[in-house]
Structure 1
Amino acid sequence: MRTTNTQAAALLAAVLLAGCASTAPQYYSLADATPGAMPASGAAPAFVELAPVAMPERFARPQLVVRQKAAIDGPQVDILEEHRWSSSFENELRDALSSGIAGRLGAVDATKSGSPRGQAVTRIAVQLRQFDAVQGRRVDASFSWTVRRGDQGPSLACQLSLSEPVEGGGIDALARGAQRTTAKLADAIARSVTANACPG
């Protein structure tokens, strides 16, 4: 009888451990492993600095916020506890954009390290206005941003809406769609810095 109870307890422990292992969060990054090429025209600034990304409070969390395909026209969204960005979404987006923009411009990313005294810095501020991720369909996103060269002078204000198709129905495919959306935004911002004009 004791052996049976011991075996049952061991089996229950194994089932509980397996359940815990199967619900371990999956983590995703918005960083682009293969950033786009540096724009051909204009001179790149020596330093760029990206302000914290402004976004609606519902997105400022590490969990992915998605819509099911069947609920594309409805108000319901899912907050996926088991699928998360590697940091809070606003920090993940800022890190991916700051490194991506600097890489495309051949500039130094001064977002966290700062710049030498007296060195001109191009300051960029981004606002996320919409980010609608629909499983198995697409990522719809809308952004605005400003670019200011140095501490004086006028700033350039731009906006961009993107719709990135998602190939596949899983969350991995949706995260890759969000990553491509971020890369396209970095491309557009880098072009606006180089040309001192909003992308057409």
Structure 2
Amino acid sequence: MRTRPAFALAAAILAQAFFLAACRTPPQETFYTLSPAPAPMPAEARSQARFTVAVGPVTVPEMVDRPQLVVRRSPNRVDVLEHHRWAQPLGAEIARVLAADLAGRLPDARTVSAGGQAGERADYRIALDIEQFDAVPGQGVTVLAAWSVRHEGTTLHAGRSALREAVQADGYEALAAAYARALARMSAEIAAVVHSLVISKK
């Protein structure tokens, strides 16, 4: 009889623990995209497309080739953020935003991501090998890439980009925005080469 109060108290505590566990919701996942840079030329000023540029294939390092965002904490440590993810595979996301950036810089071109009939018939194809895609929270991002401009299977130009962008706010969304700014700078380099190649063919 003397053990009943203690037993009742233990049962109440256990029941409360089960109740709290049942009510606990899993952490919410957040998804990120790369936004294109504002177009240098208004849409109404664009001329009719005279050639097509396809972006892809895009390869990315295995370390970051995953749905989760990967951030660097030290030279020898990275964190894979389980609840912070890219909205689509990273290679496809990079191709998409570069195609959009190039569209704003090449007013007489139609730009697409590689794949599909438009990509197969493109006059110029941009192939990218992303060698480094690093983000340090609160500091910035680094993007190193080798890229080439090809025409009918022939490489017309091979280039490299080494880009660093500081973050402008706290949080992982600021890292995605810094990545987008770095890729916009890369698109400017690529667009200048494509423009010179088109001019040389005239």
Alignment TM class, shorter chain as reference: 0.7 to 0.9
SS in 2 for 1:27: strand
Post-superposition shift, 1:174?
1.3
Residue 29 (structure 1) aligned with residue 58 (structure 2): no
Gap change, CA 1:87 and 1:115, over 3 Å in 2: closer
Q: Which residue of the partner structure matches residue 44 of structure 2?
A: none
How many pairs does the alignment contain?
A: 180
Same amino acid, percent of matched pairs: 34
**Where does the alignment leave 5 or more consecutive residues of structure 2 unmatched?**
1-7, 42-47
Distance 2:175 2:145 in 1: 19
Post-superposition shift, 1:103?
3.5
Distance 1:177 1:116 in 2: 28
AA in 1 matched with 2:193: S
Q: 1:112-139: CA deviations, max 9, x gaps?
A: 342399x661111011011121111111
Q: TM-score, normalising length from structure 2?
A: 0.76
AA in 1 matched with 2:80: I
Distance 2:83 2:118 in 1: 38
More strand, by proportion:
2
Aligned partners of 2:127 and 2:148 also within 8 Å: yes
Q: Which residue of the partner structure matches residue 109 of structure 1?
A: 111
Aligned partners of 1:67 and 1:78 also within 8 Å: yes
Q: 1:38-94: CA deviations, max 9, x gaps?
A: 5xxxx97521112221222112111111112xx2xx210111111111112112111
Distance 1:153 1:175 in 2: 33
Residues 6-21 of structure 1: pairs in structure 2 closer than 5 A: 8=16, 10-14=19-23, 16-17=24-25, 20=26
**Where does the alignment leave 5 or more consecutive residues of structure 1 unmatched?**
none
CA RMSD of aligned residues (A): 2.9
Residues 37-76 of structure 1: pairs in structure 2 closer than 5 A: 37=40, 46-68=51-73, 71=74, 74-76=75-77
Distance 1:120 1:10 in 2: 60
